[in-house]
Amino acid sequence: MLCLFVLALVLGEVRRIILDRGGKTIHKEILFKNLGRKRNMVSAPDGSLLLTTDRPKGKLIKVVPNN
């Protein structure tokens, strides 16, 4: 399985898409919305996601996995 995290910039959403080994979508969900317009997202070595917003006083948001 492969897990993709996607920014939907205009909608202000962070989505997770899970693919099987053949690349077929087996699950998709909206993780966050209405947190402001996200500008960038990267995965950190600890497995968390780091997101930035583009508001005048932009924010750095850290999302930690729930394992």
Beta strands 49-53 and 2-8: pairing type? Answer: unpaired
Question: Model-level pTM?
Answer: 0.74
Q: What is the 3-state secondary structure (H, E, C) of the chain?
A: CEEEEEEECCCCEEEEEEECCCCCEEEEEEEEECCCCEEEEEECCCCCEEEEECCCCCCEEEECCCC
Distance CA 27, CA 43 (A): 20
pLDDT in tens, the chain (67 residues): 899 999 887 787 899 999 999 999 999 999 888 777 778 899 999 989 999 888 778 888 898 988 6
Q: How many domains does the chain have?
A: 1
Residue keyed to tokens 């966050």: 32
Domain that holds residue 16: 2-63
